[in-house]
Structure 1
Amino acid sequence: MEIHETPTAETAMLIRRPVAEVFEAIIDPAVTTKFWFTHSSGRLDAGKPVQWEWRMYDVSTMVDVSEIVKDTKIVMRWSDPPTTVVWTFTEMPGNATFLEVRNFGFAGSADERVKQAVDSTGGFSLVLAGAKAWLEQGLPLGLIGDRHPKGVAAG
């Protein structure tokens, strides 16, 4: 009997900053642009779509937040076709936050869905590493911009 699992991108990172600060870093584009996208039409808020841009790649996406639980969870849909992203913030001892990201609902063939989940896992891992560096050390690592440099073929 064949079992069909839904491919899900999952990654997580301990960030040694208070949960309210880590939560705000994802909600507020003035902070998020330090480690992820380059421009946003506004803060994340339930029921108010925003557009995120990565101008170095001439790419943008609409983000539609369906649920926000302050300092605990953000549920959003993004991309085309849309997928669901769930951010979970867990307060940890020592003013730290465990930030988990799950992305699911990929479209296409089984192989295409698996590839999208793998790509998304890698992308969100870079986002969390960049967030950690920025929030803990104030270091803008440029991970997203350096992921696909001009002159290197996508593989």
Structure 2
Amino acid sequence: MDLSFKVSARIAKPVTEVFEAIVNPDHLSQYFTTGGARGRLETGATVTWDFHDFPGAFPVHVVEVEPERRIVLRWEATDCAAEATGDKASASYDTTVTMTFEPLDGGTRTLVSIAEEGWRQTPEGLKSSYGNCQGWMQMACAMKAWLEHGINLREGMFR
């Protein structure tokens, strides 16, 4: 069984605005990366995302950006059991995140879908995949609230 998931949300904004809310670090920092984002998502770039709930800037490797259609990222997943034993070499590996954008209702709304795959088939991998699934769904909800209503759902949530 492959450990993967896909979450989706419909946002009452055109694809252009939804896409920009993710690729632009100033926008992403308004509703998701509570500690800030550094670097625009562009093919081949490595950017950093920081979260108050998981302190420390995470490097995010941008595999592909197809404007207003698709974003593919790779970032580190950590096997907590291997890390706890000090086996850093086998503890770290990457997962792949794919975001897609589909215009709806004549372009006035967007279906954004976020999928992630690549965890090891271990209890720790399963636990990590659940945590990331929760995080990406929270990101989609926070983006919807910010884009549609100017509300930052994550403000003060983790500090």
Which residue, out of 119, 126, 136, partners 2:148? 136
The aligned counterpart of 1:58 is 55
Residues 1:120 and 2:117 aligned together: no
* Alignment of structure 1 residues 5-154 onto 2, 5 Å: 5-37=1-33, 38-55=35-52, 57-80=54-77, 81-94=93-106, 95-107=108-120, 109-142=121-154, 146=157, 149=158
1:84 is paired with a residue whose SS is strand
Q: Give the secondary-structure state (helix, strand or coil) at the position aligned to 1:128.
A: helix
1:117 is displaced (CA, Å) by: 1.6
Unaligned runs of 5+ in 2: 78-92
Q: Which has the higher helix share?
A: 2
Give the letter for the 2:129 counterpart. A
In structure 1, stretches of 5+ residues that fail to align are 151-155
Give the alignment's TM-score, normalised by structure 1.
0.84
Report how many residues are paired: 142
Q: Which has the higher strand share?
A: 2
1:48 Cα deviation after fit: 1.2
Partner AA of 1:13 in structure 2: A
Q: What CA deviation, in whole Å up to 9, does each residue of 1:91-145 have, x standing for no partner?
A: 10151000000011113x52222212211111111000000000000111116x5
- How far apart are 1:55 and its partner, in Å? 4.3
Deviations 1:37-69 (A, max 9, x none): 122221111111111112464222111111111
3-state secondary structure, aligned to 2:13: coil
